[in-house]
């Protein structure tokens, strides 16, 4: 009987959806990081051929392919694999591809000797350029045959009906091979059954006419290992359509070379052996790319520098910015860079001609627009998925008598609602009296309050202490150093007193320190030291001075008679609400009475008078001595 060499078709044809690479990007950033170990993949080969132009069964991969539950969907054939994603493009390029597939083939041969169905699988090597959204990959399905084994075609056999075998494979979707034993029964492949095999039945993934898939070599090699005495074998190649066929093959050993001859790398679109590349930047919704890309640098922190940093907590923090001026603009950009997605601006002024050069969210075309809304719109332009809002609102100011009870009551109620809707409040306004009411509200609503204030060549950044801490450990607020309640400081001021006259770089320094202070506060604290965490110190106050370029870290306790955070003021605000605020707006001395500052002032005055009197008596004594 004449013999002829066997021809084989490609085992599968890969089709990789863009969602696969998006999920790979997420896993690389969040899970794998610097690891390049194999990541399991799971897919289902379709039982029926969907494309007549395809030369083999399609291997479809998408975002679900990383989840094991996707195996066997809709009764398809489970097919498992691995992806190895390299950290450096050069490693991907210089990888010894032959050694890679040879090593895997040896492993699959060993697995196949235990269970012939485990001798098949697919593997992907890849490199993901996450900044440019370009992906390089190469798929292989290792197909092996012993060097000493000759598989030759003896004859093409007629196949009366493929239906019984198709039905068997339908019921046993995880099986690639079955045996027809001496009693003409269809049985699972085992080493024992192989010794009495009448015919071998293989699930075929090729679509070429009477040319089987190359993975048939895996099964025939293992069969020869299990039954080396079988020199001639009837093999049925079963497909889901009417193109199944049968061949009589010769299996002969020539020598003792047990090394495997391996193939299986997929050809690229030019029909050459080489990797493929895909540029997703032009295929995916730009907003989806932006959503992942804006967090890229943050997530890279977790790879090596700060693996324990809690980025999700930062992202979920809702921030209220009181003031959309110079500080508000810089603070918002720094917050956005840290991944904060919810920001609300509050301001009552409009963009002036002098603003755009100092306040980076505004342009010349914004002049005359409400600052809060213009700032919100600018952030949306930078990153359209930001949840940002601009609220035009005047914060009621202590010591500024009410001119319209209805309007200011409405502003107060809206401000209270905004506090309830946010986790963190930044005080970034121009005057001290504007900061008083937000300080009070932040205390009794237990919000994180960050205060930033500017001088000509100095700045202050501080976090307000929590009202609910133990009194002995409670930190002070912005007003804890004052012995007078804040009052109207805006009336009858010259132009240089009404405008923020400061060295331009001071605002950037204060804004960045304020945001970094917040981020440090949001991280888990050291159990042994509440002033430190994984990012370092959590100072109470930071005072910077540009005249000598120095920075001081200070800590001051809460003042028992503070006009903004003492128990009497907080209690009155809780109990009386707007009535309390109304009284404070009309007369700042009302707060001095409640807080005890009036008594402190009287005691200080009395002490001063007594001191002056002592000085006079001492002077008289000296005069008498003369």
Q: Which residues are catalytic?
A: 499
Q: What single-letter DSSP state applies at residue 574?
A: H
Contact 427, 482 (CB under 8 A): no
Q: Which of 390, 518, 508, 503 is nearest to 464 (CA)?
A: 518
CB burial of 56-82 (b: ≥16 within 10 Å; e: otherwise) equals bbbbbbbbbbbeeebbeeeebbbbebe
Encoding tokens for residue 36? Answer: 């390049």
* H helix count then E strand count, the chain: 19, 26
- Kindly report the backbone phi and psi dihedral angles of residue 545, in degrees, each rounded to the nearest multiple of 5, phi listed first: -135, 120
Angle at 146 between CA 140 and CA 150, to 5 degrees: 115
**What are the residues whose beta carbons fall under 8 Å from the beta carbon of 288, sequence distance 6 or more?**
22
- What does the alpha-carbon distance between residue 154 and residue 117 come to, in Å, rounded to a whole number? 26
Diameter of the chain measured on Cα atoms:
146
Residue in this structure with the two tokens 């012995």, named with its chain if needed: 483
Contact 573, 591 (CB under 8 A): no
**What are the residues whose beta carbons fall under 8 Å from the beta carbon of 306, sequence distance 6 or more?**
534, 535
Strand partners, 461: 452, 542
Contact 178, 190 (CB under 8 A): no
Q: Which of 160, 132, 498, 411 is nearest to 281 (CA)?
A: 132
User: What order of strands is seen across the sheet that includes strand 529-533?
Assistant: 525-526, 529-533, 536-537
How many Cβ atoms sit within 10 Å of the Cβ of residue 230?
Answer: 15
3-state secondary structure 277-332: EEEHHHCCCHHHHHHHHCCHHHHHHCCCCCCCCCHHHHHHCEEEEECCCHHHHHHH
Instruction: Output the CA–CA distances (angstroms, integers) from residue 309 to 8, 78, 104, 106, 205, in the order listed.
Output: 53, 39, 37, 42, 48
**CA 202, 203, 209, 214 torsion: positive or negative?**
negative
Strand 536-537 relative to strand 529-533, pairing: antiparallel
Q: Which of 117, 75, 76, 121 is nearest to 101 (CA)?
A: 121
Angle at 432 between CA 426 and CA 433, to 5 degrees: 105
- What does the alpha-carbon distance between residue 61 and residue 577 come to, in Å, rounded to a whole number? 60
Got the DSSP string for 180-242?
Answer: E-TTS-EEE--HHHHTT-SEEEEE--B-STT--BTTHHHHHHHHHHH-TT--EEEEEEE-SSS
- What does the alpha-carbon distance between residue 298 and residue 381 come to, in Å, rounded to a whole number? 21
Encoding tokens for residue 563? Answer: 């006009």
């Amino acid at each position: 009987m004449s013999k002829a060499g066997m021809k084989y078709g490609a085992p599968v044809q890969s089709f990789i959806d863009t969602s696969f690479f998006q999920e790979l990007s997420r896993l690389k950033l969040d899970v794998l990081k610097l690891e390049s170990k194999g990541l399991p993949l799971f897919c289902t080969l379709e039982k029926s051929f969907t494309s007549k132009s395809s030369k083999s069964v399609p291997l479809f991969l998408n975002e679900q392919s990383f989840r094991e539950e996707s195996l066997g969907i809709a009764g398809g054939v489970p097919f498992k694999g691995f992806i190895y994603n390299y950290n450096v493009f050069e490693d991907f390029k210089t990888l010894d591809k032959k050694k890679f597939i040879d090593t895997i083939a040896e492993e699959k041969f060993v697995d196949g000797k235990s269970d012939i169905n485990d001798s098949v699988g697919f593997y992907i090597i890849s490199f993901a350029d996450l900044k440019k959204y370009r992906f390089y990959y190469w798929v292989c399905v290792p197909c092996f045959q012993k060097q000493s084994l000759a598989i030759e075609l003896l004859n093409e056999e007629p196949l009366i009906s493929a239906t019984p075998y198709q039905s068997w494979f339908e019921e046993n979707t995880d099986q690639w091979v079955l045996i027809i034993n001496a009693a003409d029964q269809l049985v699972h492949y085992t080493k024992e059954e192989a010794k009495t095999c009448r015919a071998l039945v293989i699930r075929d993934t090729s679509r070429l006419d009477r040319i089987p898939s190359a993975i048939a070599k895996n099964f025939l090699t293992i069969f020869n290992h299990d039954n080396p005495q079988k020199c001639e074998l009837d093999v049925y190649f079963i497909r889901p359509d009417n193109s199944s066929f049968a061949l009589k093959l010769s299996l002969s050993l020539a020598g003792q070379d047990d090394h495997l001859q391996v193939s299986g790398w997929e050809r690229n679109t030019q029909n050459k052996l080489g990797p493929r590349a895909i540029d997703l930047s032009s295929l995916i919704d730009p907003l989806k790319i932006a959503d992942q890309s804006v967090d890229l640098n943050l997530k890279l922190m977790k790879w090596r520098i700060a693996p324990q940093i809690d980025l999700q907590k930062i992202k979920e923090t809702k921030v209220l910015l009181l003031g959309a001026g110079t500080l508000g603009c810089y603070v918002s950009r720094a917050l956005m860079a840290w991944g904060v997605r919810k920001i609300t601006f509050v301001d009552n002024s409009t963009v002036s001609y002098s603003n755009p050069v100092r306040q980076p969210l505004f342009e010349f075309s914004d002049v005359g627009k409400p600052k809060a809304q213009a700032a919100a719109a600018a952030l949306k332009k930078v990153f359209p998925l930001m949840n940002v809002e601009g609220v035009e609102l005047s914060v009621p100011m202590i010591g500024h008598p009410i001119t319209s009870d209805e309007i200011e009551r409405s502003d107060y109620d809206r401000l209270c609602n905004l506090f309830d809707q946010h986790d963190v409040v930044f005080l970034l306004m121009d005057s001290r009296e504007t900061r008083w009411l937000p300080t009070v509200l932040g205390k009794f609503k237990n919000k994180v309050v960050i205060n930033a204030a500017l001088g000509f060549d100095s700045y202050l950044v501080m976090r307000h202490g929590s009202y609910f801490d133990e009194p002995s450990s409670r930190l002070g607020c912005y007003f804890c150093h004052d012995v007078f309640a804040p009052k109207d400081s805006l009336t009858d001021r010259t132009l240089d007193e009404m405008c923020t006259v400061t060295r331009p770089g001071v605002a950037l320094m204060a804004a960045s320190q304020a945001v970094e202070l917040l981020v440090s506060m949001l991280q888990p604290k050291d159990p042994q030291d509440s002033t430190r965490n994984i990012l370092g110190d959590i100072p109470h106050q930071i005072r910077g001075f540009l005249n000598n370029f120095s920075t001081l870290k200070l800590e001051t306790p809460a003042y028992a008679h503070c006009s903004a955070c003492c128990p009497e003021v907080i209690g009155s605000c809780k109990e009386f609400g707007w009535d309390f605020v109304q009284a404070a707006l009309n007369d700042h001395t009302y707060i001095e009475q409640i807080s005890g500052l009036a008594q402190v002032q009287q005691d200080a005055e009395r002490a001063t008078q007594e001191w002056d009197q002592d000085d006079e008596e001492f002077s008289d004594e000296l005069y008498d001595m003369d």
